[in-house]
Amino acid sequence: MQSITIVGSQRESVGKAASKALRNAGKVPCVLYGGENTIHFSADSLAFKKLVYTPNVYTATIELGGKTYTAILQDIQFDPVTDKILHVDFYQLHKDKEITLEVPIQIVGTAPGVMAGGTLRIVNRKLKVKALPDNLPDFVPVDISWMEMGNRFYVTKIAQDNYKIMHPDNTVVCQVRVSRAALKAAQDAAKADTKKKK
C-alpha cells in the first residue's frame, strides 16, 4: 500500500486553547494511538491534502523528532462551516498485527452484458479487508469480463491471497442490469416474432 510522509512535532500542551493556537498557525492537532503510549503531535495542514481528499487509501509514515511511526488514518474532524481539518486521529500499525481497513475496488475488463446494452451498477465501491500491514492492497481488483446481463458479482469471486475480505459471502460488489432500451428492444423482438408465427 502507498504511504504518505507526515512530518510533525510533539505537543506539550493539549488543551482547547493550545489546539486553537495551532489551528490559527496553520497546523492540525493530531493523536497517535495503538503504541505503548498515546502521542499528541501537530503537523502542517497541507500535509494532509493527499491523505484526506482522495478516494485512494494510504498508510501514513509519521516522523516525530527522529522517530518514525507507520499508521493509518482512524478519524478526522472537520469544521462544519469552513471545512477545515480540526483534528486527526491515527492508529499505529505493527508489522505482525493484522488490521481491518476499507479499500476501494478497481473494475477490470469490460462486461459483455454492458456491450450488449446493459448498465453496470456498482453496489460497493469499497470493501473491508483484513491483512498484515505489508499485505494491505491499494485496491481490490474486480474482473467483470465474464458478466452478462442480469449477472451479479459476489465477494466470493475475489481472489484473496494475502488478505481476507470481511463481508458475508452474499455481498454483491456490482451487477449488470438490463437497461430500459435493451428491455424494450427484447420486447419488440418478441412481439415481432409472435406476429411472424401467426
CATH number for the domain including 105?
2.170.120.20
Chain segment 150-177, per-residue pLDDT in tens: 999 999 999 888 999 999 999 999 999 9
* The predicted structure's pLDDT at residue 56: 85
Chain segment 28-62, per-residue pLDDT in tens: 999 999 999 999 999 999 999 888 888 888 999 99
Please indicate, yes or no, whether residues 78 and 15 belong to a single structural domain of this protein: yes
Does 49 map to a domain? yes
Q: In which domain, by residue range, is 38 found?
A: 3-93
Is the full-model pTM beyond 0.85? no
Please indicate, yes or no, whether residues 8 and 88 belong to a single structural domain of this protein: yes
C-alpha distances in Å from residue 44, one per residue of 27, 36, 142, 168: 4, 25, 36, 40
* The predicted structure's pLDDT at residue 1: 86
C-alpha distances in Å from residue 189, one per residue of 84, 184, 186, 192: 57, 8, 5, 5
Number of domains in the chain: 2
- Residue 184 pLDDT greater than 80, yes or no: no
* Listed residue (153, 162, 99, 149) closest to 122, CA to CA: 153
Determine the Cα–Cα distance for residues 63 and 176; give it in Å rounded to an integer: 46
Does 129 map to a domain? yes
